[in-house]
Amino acid sequence: MKKHCVELHKTGQFSQFFLDYIGGKKELQPFYAHAPKLESFKQAIEQKTFSDENRKVLVEALHSQYANQEVSYAVSSNIKALASEGTFTVTTGHQLNLFTGPLYFIYKIVSTINLAKKLAETYPNYKFVPVYWMATEDHDFDEINYFKLDGKKYQWNSDQTGAVGDFELDKSFKEFLKSVSFAPQVFLDAYSSSKTLAEAVRKYVNSLFGEEGLLIVDGDDASLKREFTEVILSDLFKHTPFTKATEATEELEELGYSSQIFPREVNLFYLDKGIRERIEKMDSGFGVVNTELRFSDEEMEALVESNPERFSPNVVLRPLYQETILPNLAYLGGPAEVVYWLQLKSVFDHFKTPFPVLLPRNFALLANEKVQRKMQQLNWSVEDLFVDVEHWKKTFVKAEASMDIELTKQKEVISALFDMKGKEAAHLEKTLENAFEAGKMRSLKIIDQMARKLRKAEERRLHTQIERACCIQELVKPGGSPQERVVNMMQFYLANPDLISELLDCFDPLDFRMMVLTNES
């Protein structure tokens, strides 16, 4: 692959909030601990405190989670290395999308693996382990139960409820699997040999990235949750995370930035088989939304101590949970993910947990031969791939028209004629000037109608070029959304099994530009 880079602000795909963060805007600096750059990791390493006991719990949990799976030497070595104080993680996370979902799932993991490699080169006295955090506790099944390939949506429908990681790959899934028999064997093997969705995702992610040493962490683990009980109790009884996050949110809103997440008094779900529902503070004790479950204060406190795995953090607490149980230095996420962490730094500060380096994942556009061919025919640069096609069409037609399709001079002549004659007529009768003005407006409307007809005629003459531009637009921005947020990796992986290794060669986790990747050598 050949890499061409475009500045993010030229793509029209990113919020000003995100662009201001990666640009280092002064007003945002109080909301994070480290600038998103390589040099920040020296301080992050010095500030990260992670006890031997925490490491022991983490290593044991990982051994348990990988117990029934073959692992590479790289994975085994990285799990073992986490017991040593000189080992740190860099992490990304994502939902359990079917067959990886949109392309950026892969981009997140590739970016994280490459960051670990770059840190190893820069800080050779330490070891850095890439981590994929599986969002097994998420319960929004409709967000993950499909993928899109060649413009078609492949969807698994199920009436199961609760955390999606626990969803059983039942008869309905086996029927769904028959409809995607074209999928690479790595996926078919993972799904057909697994009992749950979490097990299948672990298997295919491990198959795709295990040789790179990627560790897959499932936070739905009683031993790991036990390390988070202080925060769970504080959230339930003192609402400290709500208070701190709300203060930061209000400060950001005063600076003109929109909230990405919305803190609640209680930022925990009750988690059990088939259930993941919000916990709410009631006049007396606690209740679980959409259930009959009720707990007194004493019962809730006892449950935290005896069964911490019953408590599932929401988006406000999940980052803190991650940083509590991992010796983590950096989190890599999409543009919305990165900026919502800025609402949470004061929560980290309160619980004396080091805030990680926040980095955006890499952003990429895969331009296949069809796109490249049409770009050459239109003489487009890579930056042109991100233009608004309607705006481009207006500019292009005007530039290529055989005549002035806007009839600019004719409008000027008619306006001047009516204005002049209107002033002359006003000497005869004052109301005639208004009549000439009205006549001018009617005449200009007729000219505008003629101009539109001329434009349509020119568009028909230039239809080949316009169709090429529209075709490019649909390939790089299907349905109006960026390719990486819509298209599944199989769109390219089926034709190119070396896709992931080529992405690993191209991605630079500290280069905050959009990459356009072509098949040129």
Sheet holding 513-518, edge to edge: 2-7, 513-518, 363-366
What pLDDT score was predicted for residue 396?
82
Residue 435 CA to residue 421 CA, distance in Å, equals 11
Residue 317 tokens read as 């607490």
Average pLDDT over residues 63-75: 95
- Same structural domain for residues 426 and 475? yes
Same domain, 405 and 271: no
Mean pLDDT of 287-291: 97
- Tell whether 493 is covered by a domain: no
Average pLDDT over residues 178-191: 96
For residue 399, being part of any structural domain is answered with yes
pLDDT band at 521 (very low <50, low <70, confident <90, very high): low
For the segment 363-381, the average pLDDT, to the nearest whole number, is: 93
Contact between residue 11 and residue 514 where contact means Cβ atoms under 8 Å apart: yes
What integer pLDDT is reported at residue 456 of this predicted model? 86
- Residue at a domain's end among 296, 311, 326: 311
Residue 405 has pLDDT above 80, yes or no: no
Q: How do residues 208-243 score in pLDDT, each as one tens digit? A: 999 999 999 999 999 999 999 999 999 999 999 999
Inter-residue contact 263 to 249 (CB < 8 Å): yes
Task: Judge whether residue 284 has pLDDT over 70.
Answer: yes
- Residue 255 domain-assigned (yes or no): yes
Residues 153 and 43 reside in one and the same domain: yes
pLDDT the model gives residue 227: 97
Say if residue 266 is in the same domain as residue 181.
no
Same domain, 389 and 462: yes
pLDDT score of 417 more than 70? yes
Q: What pLDDT score was predicted for residue 431? A: 85
In a domain, 492, yes or no: no
Buried b (16+ CB within 10 A) or exposed e, 394-408: eebbeeebeeebbbe
Residue range(s) defining the domain that contains residue 409: 369-487
Do 214 and 245 fall within a single domain? no
Scan for tokens 């989190």, then name that residue: 331
Residue 115 counted as domain residue: yes
Give the dihedral sign, CA 331/335/337/341: positive
Q: Which residue has the higher pLDDT, 444 or 148?
A: 148
Closest C-alpha to 189, from 320, 382, 179, 199 = 199
Q: Can you tell me the distance from the alpha carbon of 339 to that of 22, in angstroms, rounded to the nearest whole number?
A: 10
Can you give the pLDDT at residue 458? 79
Burial of residue 142 (number of CB atoms within 10 Å: 0-12, 13-18, 19+): exposed
Examine the domain organization and report whether 262 and 341 are in the same domain: no
**248 & 200 share domain:** no
- Going along 397-503, which residue ranges are E strands? none
**257 part of a folded domain:** yes
pLDDT at 402 over 80: no
Is 126 in the same domain as 17? yes
Pair 167, 307 in one domain = no
Taking residues 446-461, what's their average pLDDT? 83
Average pLDDT over residues 322-349: 97
Assigned domain for 460 exists? yes
pLDDT, position 519: 83
* Cα Rg, the chain, nearest whole Å: 29
Is the domain of 176 the same as that of 82? yes
Amino acid at 339: V
Q: Are residues 198 and 81 in the same domain?
A: yes
Grade residue 401 by pLDDT with cuts at 50, 70 and 90. Answer: confident
Instruction: Give the residue from 311, 332, 347 where a domain finishes.
Output: 311
Share of the chain above pLDDT 70, in %: 100
* Each residue's pLDDT tens digit, 101-111: 999 999 999 99
Average confidence (pLDDT) over 398-417: 82
Average pLDDT of the residues in 472-480: 90
Q: Is residue 414 a contact partner of residue 440, using CB atoms and an 8 Å limit?
A: yes
Total domains, the chain: 3
- pLDDT (average), residues 308-314: 97
pLDDT class of 311 with cuts at 50, 70, 90: very high
Q: Which of 118, 120, 133, 127 is nearest to 37 (CA)?
A: 118
pLDDT-derived band at 393 (thresholds 50, 70, 90) equals confident
Residue 124 falls inside a structural domain: yes
pLDDT for 451: 77
Segment 189-198 mean pLDDT: 97
